[in-house]
Amino acid sequence: MHFNMPSHLRSVALVSLFLGSAVSSPFVYHRRPQLQQYLGPEANQNPSEPTEPYDYVVVGGGVTGLIAAARLADASYSVAVVEKGGYYEQMTGNLSEVPGYTELFDNSKTPPRDEVEHWWEVAGTPETNNRKLNFTGGKMIGGSHAFSYFGYLHPTVGAMQKWADDVGDESWTYPNTRKFFDQSMFFTPPNDTTRWANATPEYDPSYQGSGPLEITYPRWAQPFSTWLVRAFDALGVTHTLSYATGELFGSSWILDTINSTDGTRSTTWTAYVKNAPPKKKLDVYTFSLADKIRFDGKTATGVDVTRNLPDEPEEKFTIQAKNEVVLAGGGILSPQLLLVSGVGPAATLAEWDIPVVLDKPGVGQNMHDHIVFGVTYRVNIPTSSILLDQDTRWQHEDLFKENVTGMLVNPGPDYGAIVDIPSDLRNFSAEVKQDLAALPKDWPELIIVGFPLGHDWPNDGNYATLMGIPMTAKSTGHIELQSADMADKPKIVPKWLTSRTDLEVSVASLKYMRRVFENPALSEILASDEISPGTEAVTWDELEDALKSGYRSMHHPAATLRMGRADDPDAVTDSTGKIMGLDNVRVVDPSAFPFLPPGLPLAPAFMFAEKITDNIINDQKKKGRHGKHRTDL
Ligand SMILES: Cc1cc2nc3c(=O)[nH]c(=O)nc-3n(C[C@H](O)[C@H](O)[C@H](O)COP(=O)(O)OP(=O)(O)OC[C@H]3O[C@@H](n4cnc5c(N)ncnc54)[C@H](O)[C@@H]3O)c2cc1C
Ligand SMILES: *[C@@H]1O[C@H](CO)[C@@H](O)[C@H](O)[C@H]1NC(C)=O
Ligand SMILES: *[C@@H]1O[C@H](CO)[C@@H](O)[C@H](O)[C@H]1NC(C)=O
Ligand SMILES: *[C@@H]1O[C@H](CO)[C@@H](O)[C@H](O)[C@H]1NC(C)=O
Ligand SMILES: *[C@@H]1O[C@H](CO)[C@@H](O)[C@H](O)[C@H]1NC(C)=O
Ligand SMILES: *[C@@H]1O[C@H](CO)[C@@H](O)[C@H](O)[C@H]1NC(C)=O
Ligand SMILES: *[C@@H]1O[C@H](CO)[C@@H](O)[C@H](O)[C@H]1NC(C)=O
């Protein structure tokens, strides 16, 4: 049995077929375009070593870092962003821009590329059937969102209530965070002249938003998804009005972060900076690694940086922060930076001779992640496999460029069902039942999405997969330093499927996805028996084995700098994102989530960065008022 394509088939160079002559060498540094114009009138592209401090130094120019940087610069502060990678327009041609090309990046299937990805090889364990797996993250302006899928799903009301309860701060409930979700995005209704009648999304027309990122339904729908609508209807799954209302149960077309005008991926880079009004002083240091946070006692004062611009000698300098250092490196690199800077479990720091700034046991612990696995059939409807044919690919490129439609405006996974495992498949042990009963009632067990993507299947037809992403995420792992140097990769120990709850829910999920394919509503389009995991896997134990040999990570590291109450010894940040016990250092990325909420992390990451940056600005205003008050006296 196999989830992955047999290696003798993979030897067909499908990726290069796809790219053909279209993108000659996608991962070299292209010298166009000039991006200086998108920063501020007083900003520099590749600024020289700074002599003056900035008000804020943001570490990481990814999803959350650019939100923090843009909001701070809009509030008239001077801001430096330190980003290890380059601009994706220069690094990857149009691979990050055209939604349909996401598949070519498909992480975890194609090997990671050093130029645009941070990656870490994870050792095999019994829960992976001893497979090594690569874990990855973006290394570009725009961060992981520059090559990930980009579905937009909110968590649930109950999950956010749990968040508020866990951290002891009611500002984290869904109603209270809603304004921060809304100020990150605006919604464009679907274009019903370009989508088929049987692909009409149901949505709440009052849903608007007032922020920079555009959220919409792609102007072309996947044929497979129109069949899934019928299958989930036949199984009695109700419809939900998109997944952005605080309720997740039901089936729906999936919202994406897409620019509806030109069809390209909308990211925090394009929406908050490139296509937004220029900021007065926003400097972006690309190809620059923040090696260490500088402290004066327990107060952060700036970061030490190593810059390696292409074709330039290496430079080392310090960027000082007058107000705060803002961490936005993501769930792996933010805790690593704190550890190498002396903030973490004292024993770990001693092991690497790192002088202790603050003994903080929770740093790098409590890592949450989502996993994903599939059930695949051959189908007799068009999937992205048709793009393996050169004429068809050119036709869709023209449709994209001329009319912003065709298969390339759609990233692929565009219809989903979010469910609990049905009662007759709940062969769960007592401990698992108890664990599941403790989740908020509206916290779903499983997301299923259609995945009609063909580039890693043989070029002999069309293949469609249902991908299952368990939402329980009870297994927690950690990261470990392998040296005191930020440039060395840490070891990641995700401990996927070590929770019995995650394991049993995952096996039951495979059974449920089989049931979807076996529904008569899909029989017309199936052109084979089940290919993966394969009809040989029948019993619970065989399915468990197939699961362990087939799943991969969704690359959603979170909660490694978990937010919590002041009296919680393992919590790292307070409910405003400050590292407890330090001054002037704040976390705006999902490492400070208290847990990984149900849904997918992008939408809550946007909300989180907006909300914590609002805290930063308000705290600074208070300090300012306080200062003024004193001089007035
Ligand atoms: C392959 C993949 C697929 C995903 N799929 C989905 C999905 O389908 N849906 C979804 O909702 N979410 C998805 N995600 C998750 C989502 O992308 C993340 O939750 C989100 O990007 C988190 O934002 P961030 O700002 O924490 O990190 P990122 O966006 O990863 O940005 C971090 C940036 O910081 C830089 N950086 C880090 N440390 C340093 C340092 N010390 N010095 C200089 N630069 C540094 C990195 O180079 C990077 O560019 C996916 C992620 C990956 C990797
Ligand atoms: C992407 O870029 C390549 C190389 O420039 C080009 O051939 C292709 O048509 C582009 N695709 C789209 C959809 O614009
Ligand atoms: C991880 O990625 C690296 C770099 O692309 C590759 O050499 C290695 O084989 C990959 N390992 C696994 C287990 O896929
Ligand atoms: C919908 O698509 C059609 C065809 O491309 C286009 O003419 C029309 O302007 C679009 N409508 C909206 C509201 O964008
Ligand atoms: C969408 O694309 C158009 C055309 O490229 C651009 O003018 C606009 O600013 C973009 N919108 C956003 C929100 O990035
Ligand atoms: C784009 O739409 C126009 C008007 O409907 C049509 O004439 C043209 O052929 C379309 N372009 C492509 C590449 O199909
Ligand atoms: C129920 O689950 C257990 C493992 O938890 C498994 O051994 C058993 O075979 C399963 N029974 C059925 C009917 O699937």
Q: Lowest-confidence range among 234-238, 295-299, 628-632?
A: 628-632
Q: What is the mean pLDDT of residues 233-248?
A: 97
Asked if 556 is an active-site residue, the reply is: yes
Kind of pairing between the strands at 282-285 and 79-82: parallel
The answer, yes or no, to whether any atom of ligand 3 lies below 6 A from the CB of 111, is yes
Distances (CA, A) of 261 to 182, 265, 398, 404: 20, 11, 15, 8
Closest among 581, 591, 588 to 615, alpha carbons compared: 588
Closest among 370, 374, 382, 619 to 471, alpha carbons compared: 370
Model confidence at 40: pLDDT above 80: no
What is the tens place of the pLDDT at every residue in 527-582? 999 999 999 999 999 999 999 999 999 999 999 999 999 999 999 999 999 999 99
| Residue in the block written with tokens 């160079």 | 13
Could you tell me the distance, in angstroms and rounded to a whole number, from the CA of residue 288 to the centre of ligand 2? Answer: 29
- Please give all residues whose beta carbon lies within 6 A of any atom in ligand 1, as ranges: 59-65, 82-85, 107, 136-140, 143-145, 148-149, 151, 289-290, 328-330, 333, 337, 486, 554-556, 589-590, 600-602, 605
What is the tens place of the pLDDT at every residue in 123-153? 999 999 999 999 999 999 999 999 999 999 9
* Ligand positioned closest to the Cα atom of 451: 1
The CA distance from 482 to 340, in Å, is 10
Model confidence at 262: pLDDT above 70: yes
Residues ≥6 apart with Cβ < 8 Å to 124: 130, 131, 132, 133
2 phi, psi to nearest 5 deg: -155, 140
Q: Where are the alpha helices (DSSP H) in 85-239?
A: 88-91, 102-105, 157-167, 174-182, 223-234
DSSP per-residue string spanning 285-308 = ETTEEEEEEEEETTEEEEEEEEE-
The CA distance from 100 to 380, in Å, is 20
- In the predicted model, what is the mean pLDDT of the chain? 92
Quick one: pLDDT band at residue 101, thresholds 50, 70, 90? very high
Task: Count CB atoms within 10 A of the CB of residue 165.
Answer: 15
The answer, yes or no, to whether any atom of ligand 3 lies below 6 A from the CB of 134, is yes
Please report which helix (H) or strand (E) contains residue 322, including its range. strand 315-327
Please report the pLDDT score of residue 106 as a whole number: 72
Please report the pLDDT score of residue 6 as a whole number: 34
Q: Which atom of ligand 7 is nearest to the CA of 504?
A: 5
What is the tens place of the pLDDT at every residue in 621-632? 999 776 554 444
Please report the pLDDT score of residue 625 as a whole number: 75
CA angle, residues 245, 275, 96, in degrees to nearest 5:
75
The two tokens of residue 427 are 């062969």
Domain 30-118+134-182+265-367+555-633: assigned CATH number: 3.50.50.60
Please report the pLDDT score of residue 13 as a whole number: 33
Please report the pLDDT score of residue 443 as a whole number: 98
Q: Lowest-confidence range among 109-113, 151-155, 226-230?
A: 109-113
Q: Lowest-confidence range among 8-17, 73-82, 142-151, 229-238?
A: 8-17
Could you tell me the distance, in angstroms and rounded to a whole number, from the CA of residue 403 to the centre of ligand 6? Answer: 6
CA angle, residues 412, 415, 417, in degrees to nearest 5:
135
Please report the pLDDT score of residue 84 as a whole number: 98
Could you tell me the distance, in angstroms and rounded to a whole number, from the CA of residue 403 to the centre of ligand 4? Answer: 9
The CA distance from 278 to 113, in Å, is 32
* Ligand positioned closest to the Cα atom of 432: 7
Q: Which atom of ligand 3 is nearest to the CA of 112?
A: 5
The two tokens of residue 599 are 């849904």
Model confidence at 14: pLDDT above 70: no
Model confidence at 30: pLDDT above 60: no
Question: Which is more confidently placed, 317 or 112?
Answer: 317
Closest among 223, 263, 214 to 98, alpha carbons compared: 263
Map residue 621 onto helix, strand or coil.
Answer: helix
Please report the pLDDT score of residue 199 as a whole number: 95
Could you tell me the distance, in angstroms and rounded to a whole number, from the CA of residue 62 to the centre of ligand 1? Answer: 6
Please report the pLDDT score of residue 107 as a whole number: 63
Model confidence at 369: pLDDT above 60: yes
Q: Where are the alpha helices (DSSP H) in 102-194?
A: 102-105, 157-167, 174-182
Q: Lowest-confidence range among 14-18, 132-136, 357-361, 599-603?
A: 14-18
DSSP per-residue string spanning 461-512 = SEEEEEEEEES-----BEEE-SSS-TTSPPEEE--TT-SHHHHHHHHHHHHH
pTM to 2 decimal places: 0.95
Instruction: Please classify residue 350 by burial: count the beta carbons closer than 10 Å to its beta carbon, then call 0-12 exposed, 13-18 middle and 19+ buried.
Output: exposed
**Catalytic, out of 145, 368, 396, 556:** 556
HEC secondary structure over 14-50? HHHHHHCCCCCCCCCCCCCCCCHHHCCCCCCECCCCC
Closest among 473, 478, 451, 447 to 463, alpha carbons compared: 451
The CA distance from 220 to 384, in Å, is 13
Please report the pLDDT score of residue 264 as a whole number: 97
Please report the pLDDT score of residue 456 as a whole number: 81
Quick one: pLDDT band at residue 157, thresholds 50, 70, 90? very high
Percent of the chain with pLDDT over 70: 92
Please report the pLDDT score of residue 18 as a whole number: 43
Please report the pLDDT score of residue 112 as a whole number: 87
294 phi, psi to nearest 5 deg: -90, 140
What is the tens place of the pLDDT at every residue in 315-363? 999 999 999 999 999 999 999 999 999 999 999 999 999 999 999 999 9
Q: Which atom of ligand 4 is nearest to the CA of 403?
A: 5
The CA distance from 133 to 125, in Å, is 10
What is the tens place of the pLDDT at every residue in 482-536? 999 999 999 999 999 999 999 999 999 999 999 999 999 999 999 999 999 999 9
The two tokens of residue 619 are 């705290």
Q: Where are the alpha helices (DSSP H) in 366-416?
A: 390-403
What is the tens place of the pLDDT at every residue in 428-448? 999 999 999 999 999 999 999
Please report the pLDDT score of residue 152 as a whole number: 98
Residues found in the chain: 633
Model confidence at 103: pLDDT above 60: yes
Residue nearest to atom 7 of ligand 3 (CA): 111
Encoded amino acid at 150, one letter: F
The answer, yes or no, to whether any atom of ligand 6 lies below 6 A from the CB of 632, is no
Please report the pLDDT score of residue 38 as a whole number: 72
**Structural domain boundaries of the chain?**
30-118+134-182+265-367+555-633
Q: Lowest-confidence range among 218-232, 274-288, 396-410, 614-628?
A: 614-628
The answer, yes or no, to whether any atom of ligand 6 lies below 6 A from the CB of 353, is no
The CB-side HSE value for 358 (13 A sphere, CA atoms) comes to 22
Torsion of CA 591, 595, 599, 601, to 10 degrees: 0
Could you tell me the distance, in angstroms and rounded to a whole number, from the CA of residue 186 to the centre of ligand 5? Answer: 13
The two tokens of residue 305 are 């940086």
Identify whether 53 is preceded by a cis peptide bond (ω within 30 of 0).
no
